[in-house]
């Protein structure tokens, strides 16, 4: 993992699952427009299994990013952002960007130049309006729209936009 990075009051450091999970789940629960009960359960699980980084602002945990690196041969140089969220009151202050930068540096270190980082979120045509800011964030950070998956709506509930970025 890259060394921890500190700019004034913001500290980005690797997740320590046992120590951080409770506080991070609390942050996710504060974003009910984005995350329902099932999402919260998955977040709890992924916080234990995935690599990731925590953002601390004045020693409070205010967000995190988790990264999954699939072991399968077909995608040897692809990693996925599994979760990224920042406490509501801290949106727009650069925390999400700092977390994403840490995740990208981690993936580059693990997979090397030319690695792809993917993420999926809800598609433009999906109902929840709050995801417009999520798409704007990823597009602003250099992610390109890849494809829209409209299958398995009984599982995913909404069409999903897959995005990717070459590192
Ligand atoms: C998406 C999210 C992680 C971004 O984190 P953040 O700390 O608010 O974002 P930052 O302040 O670091 O970066 C904001 C950047 O995105 C852009 N951005 C953010 N919201 C935007 C919006 N609604 N419209 C246009 N641009 C937007 C900003 O312009 C800024 O780029 P700039 O610095 O080049 O101007 C955060 O808002 C969040 O937790 N949202 C809810 C959960 C979520 O959507 N998670 C992702 C899916 S799992």
Q: What is d(CA 108, CA 112) in angstroms, rounded to the nearest whole number?
A: 5
* Residues 6 or more apart whose Cβ sits within 8 Å of residue 122: 128, 131, 134, 135, 158, 159, 160, 161
Contact in structure between 145 and 123 (CB atoms under 8 Å): no
**Smallest Cα–Cα separation from 95: which of 126, 67, 58, 57?**
57
Residue 95 beta carbon below 6 angstroms from any ligand 1 atom: yes
Q: What is d(CA 164, CA 121) in angstroms, rounded to the nearest whole number?
A: 11
Q: What is the pTM of this model?
A: 0.92
Q: Tell me which residue range forms the domain holding 31.
A: 5-166
Q: What's the pLDDT score for residue 76?
A: 72
Residue 10 beta carbon below 6 angstroms from any ligand 1 atom: no
Residue 52 beta carbon below 6 angstroms from any ligand 1 atom: no
Assign residue 57 the CATH number of its domain: 3.40.630.30
Distance 158 CA to ligand 1 centre (A): 21
Residue 142 beta carbon below 6 angstroms from any ligand 1 atom: no
The torsion angles phi and psi of 127, rounded to 5 degrees, stand at -65, -50
**Per-position pLDDT tens, the chain of length 167:** 555 665 568 999 999 999 999 999 999 999 999 999 999 999 999 999 889 999 999 999 999 999 998 766 556 789 999 999 999 999 999 999 999 999 999 999 999 999 999 999 999 999 899 999 999 999 999 999 999 999 989 889 999 999 999 99
Q: What is d(CA 164, CA 51) in angstroms, rounded to the nearest whole number?
A: 19
Write the DSSP symbol of residue 34: T
Q: Helix 17-29 and helix 37-49: axis angle, to 10°?
A: 160
Q: Which of 66, 96, 126 to mutate to test the pocket of ligand 1 (most atoms within 8 A of CB)?
A: 96
Residue 93 beta carbon below 6 angstroms from any ligand 1 atom: yes
Distance 12 CA to ligand 1 centre (A): 17
State how many domains the chain has: 1
Query: Which position has the token pair 């980005």?
Result: 12
- DSSP H/E element including 166: strand 160-166
């Amino acid at each position: 993992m890259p060394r921890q990075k500190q700019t004034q009051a913001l500290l980005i450091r690797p997740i320590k699952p046992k120590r951080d999970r409770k506080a991070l789940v609390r942050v996710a629960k504060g974003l009910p427009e984005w995350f329902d009960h099932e999402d919260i359960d998955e977040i709890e699980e992924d916080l234990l299994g995935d690599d990731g980084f925590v953002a601390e602002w004045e020693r409070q945990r205010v967000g995190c990013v988790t990264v999954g690196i699939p072991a399968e041969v077909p995608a040897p140089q692809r990693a996925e952002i599994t979760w990224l969220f920042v406490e509501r009151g801290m949106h727009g202050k650069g925390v999400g960007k700092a977390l994403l930068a840490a995740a990208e540096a981690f993936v580059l270190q693990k997979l090397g130049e030319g690695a792809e980082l993917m993420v999926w979120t809800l598609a433009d045509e999906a109902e929840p309006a709050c995801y417009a800011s999520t798409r704007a964030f990823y597009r602003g950070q250099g992610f390109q729209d890849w494809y829209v998956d409209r299958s398995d709506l009984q599982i995913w509930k909404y069409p999903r936009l897959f995005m990717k970025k070459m590192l």
